[in-house]
Chains A and B, each alone.
Chain A
Amino acid sequence: MTGLFFLIIYVSIFVVSAFVVTRLLQRGIHDYTSLKTVTFGDESAVRPNRAAGIISILTIFVMWGIFTGSNLLPSFLHAPGPFVGTTSFTYTAQVEGQAPDDATVTVVVHPRGEEPELDEVAGGDGFAKDDTIAIAQWRTGLINVQGNDEISKKDGARVVAIDGQKIAPGQTVQTANGSVTLSDKGTPNFAPTKGWQMEPLYLPAPEGVWSRTLQILDEGFRNFTLWEHLGYSLFRVVVGFLFGAIVGIPLGYAMGLSNWFRGWFDPIVEFMRPVPPLALIPLVIIWAGIGEIGKIILLFLAALWIMAIAARAGVSGVNISKVHAAYSLGASKWQIMRYVIVPNSLPEIFTGARVAMGVCWGTVVAAELVAAEQGAGMMIMTASKFQLTDIVIMGIILIGIIGFGIDMLMRYAERFLVPWKGKG
């Protein structure tokens, strides 16, 4: 149910904002370019709407707030929350040879982690006595209603109705602020209304994640500061990638220039390329353990093939006219290598480096999930074992930001260092 409401709200925000922005605020495009979108393959005709991007991100946070009861949103925007407070229901106990007797169960539903003090209950008249119980939000509670009754289960008493409605084992009856299900053995199980909000165990509110972030920034996590965790991951990526590039690029050049090298390494490279680096984790752990060496070997292997293939493609992709031109301009083999082949292959190598950095970042997080002393992946894996969902979400967001940052940095470097990319 919650999922359906979530989807309805999300889709309506999408539709309404699309209408408001494109029809009312930006008033649409009515020249011929508005028709260009029907031209298949004309990618340039569709450009991202800046407003849509901003609204999309805001919507994610608003939805997050709505369904977690965030303090950042006014409370009228919150999805109905779980019931908190005191409620009650009556049960009717029956035993053969006696008139049925009613008793009241008082249920105190309290936020998790705050154990309330329960009032003593007066017994009430009849053989069934009143009960009281405390249940945490989002939890259910079995109530041993007959534990204090004068005639109990042992004597053949059964609960036959809740709030006056008949009930049999396995059946459920709605009561105020919740529902009662009779267990197979005839014990009522009270489930307070859950509402539509997510339990913090599954999804903490945004401010919860933020305050946890500040706390981790301040105190660190598992003997390492947040910066150390992220720094270790980045360090592994950079070192692994650098080794991969140092070996991979010359290997790729050799493969692009010499038949023998090409023949020798092609089977190896072509075989290793489709092996996901993640599949190498177990072997690397067996060989090198879970320390830095193992991680760096893994990332080296992740980057190596990508860089070798990129360099090979860069060399093979040189327009033969350029080489011929250089020859007829009097260049020697080495000069052609230095002034034609290398610069010509740089754009390919940069593309490879971008891909390799992305793959390395993904691989290092995965490797840390499996086994590590520190690192971004280790942080979220350990946090999940202790059900610290806020740290898990914080970690995922930080991993995403760093991955995005790496890619942007590589793109920027590419534009700066190889401006001739794609201009041949």
Chain B
Amino acid sequence: MTGLIIDNISMRFDLPDGGHVQALKNVSIDLKAGELLSVLGPSGCGKTTLLNIVAGFLAPTDGKMILNGHEIKGPDAERGMVFQQGALFEWMSVRENVGFGPSMKGMPKNDKAEVVNHLLDVVGLQDFKEKAVYELSGGMQQRVALARCLANDPDVILMDEPLGALDALTREKMQSLVLKLWKETGKTIILITHSVEEALLLGERLIVMAPRPGRIHKEYRLPFAELGVNADLREVKKHPEFGPRREEILNMIWDMEEEIMGTKEDAA
């Protein structure tokens, strides 16, 4: 029984003033091994909370998660995470960053060097091996983060807006890289993003979440990720279905945002 089952997760945060926020309510997702899921939604819909729960950084108030037949309890190397930025260890070189996971496991030196070298080749950073991570550009840093995550050979990769801080061009290149890695490694990936386009391009499955309380609003199955593997993503965007889908989802999120602003104005 492989795959990730997110079963009826709810999350409630208590506020200091005695009130509480329902960040997630009855969220269920059934993810098969090797699926690529992108999660989209307006700010405050609980996307990041959901990811942190799956990663094991937060314990849900209700519900449970099952990965490959066992229940998730706390963080583990089987679920790797790629952050937006600032999660690399700047006191380590690129090589040491990528080799962090294997080091923690106590992998023999030679094996580790092999893994690290292979991954640096995959993300194209072999020449920057001994550089400090703060000497690299933002895009390169995210490639290091990807390689570091892959070095541990996790079953699931969780990506929290990994390309959010990059410029448009670098972003496009990185999207291709994510697709390539997904196909080559066959990992299960959950990717959170703000960008509708990115969610469409990178989501074999796409979930749109709604806020207050955070819940699943709509789910799609999309062909674009499969099309985009080893292809020009700009070509994929010309697919007849791409434009209408984008408009549809944009409108959906736009309405939600407006609703939020509206309630805020009512409150004020």
Contacts and interface: CB of A to CB of B under 8 A. Distances in A.
Interface stretch (B79-87, B185-193, B207-215, B216-224): B79-87
A325 B134 contact: no
A324 B86 contact: no
B101 interface: yes
Contact of B152 (A330, A335, A418): A330
A319 B87 contact: yes
A419 interface: yes
A330 B105 contact: yes
Nearest to A419: B132
Interface string A294-331: 00000000000000000000000001011011111111
A339 interface: yes
B89 A343 contact: yes
A330 B103 CA distance: 10
A322 B57 CA distance: 12
Contacts of A322: 86-89
B79 to A, nearest CB: 6
Contact of A321 (B75, B83, B91): B83
Contacts of B76: 328, 330
A329 B90 contact: no
Given A324-B57, A343-B91, A420-B91, A329 B148 contact: yes
A312 B79 CA distance: 31
Given A419-B132, A423-B134, A331 B86 contact: no
B140 interface: no
A280 to B, nearest CB: 36
B: contact size bracket: 20 to 34
Contacts of B90: 420, 423-424
Nearest to B101: A329
A332 interface: yes
A419 B133 CA distance: 11
Interface in A346-405: 346
B182 interface: no
A146 interface: no
Contact of A324 (B83, B88, B91, B101): B83
Contact of B87 (A325, A330, A343, A346): A325
Contact of A328 (B75, B86, B105): B75
B147 to A, nearest CB: 12
Interface in B83-119: 83-84, 86-91, 100-101, 104-105
Contact of A339 (B83, B100, B152): B100
B55 interface: yes
B59 interface: no
A340 interface: yes
Nearest to A322: B87
B81 A325 contact: yes
A343 B83 CA distance: 20
A187 interface: no
A325 B132 contact: no
Nearest to B156: A328
A331 B101 CA distance: 7
Given A325-B81, A423-B134, A330 B104 contact: yes
In this complex, which of A322, A327, A330, A423 has the most chain B Cβ atoms within 10 angstroms of its Cβ?
A330
Contacts of B81: 324-325, 328
Contacts of A325: 81, 83, 87-88, 148
A270 to B, nearest CB: 22
B104 A424 contact: no
Contacts of A420: 90-91, 132, 134
A94 interface: no
Contacts of A339: 89, 100, 104
A177 B89 CA distance: 77
B260 interface: no
B77 interface: yes
Contacts of B56: 327-328
A329 to B, nearest CB: 4
A423 B158 CA distance: 25
In this complex, which of B77, B91, B132, B134 has the most chain A Cβ atoms within 10 angstroms of its Cβ?
B91
A319 B86 contact: yes
A355 B152 CA distance: 41
Nearest to A327: B75
Given A327-B57, A344-B89, A420-B132, 18 more contacts: A321-B84, A321-B86, A321-B87, A324-B75, A324-B87, A325-B81, A325-B88, A326-B104, A328-B75, A329-B77, A329-B104, A330-B76, A330-B104, A330-B105, A331-B100, A331-B104, A423-B134, A424-B90
21 contacts: A319-B86, A321-B84, A322-B87, A322-B88, A324-B52, A326-B104, A328-B55, A328-B154, A329-B100, A329-B101, A329-B148, A330-B76, A331-B100, A332-B104, A339-B100, A339-B104, A340-B89, A420-B90, A420-B134, A423-B90, A423-B132
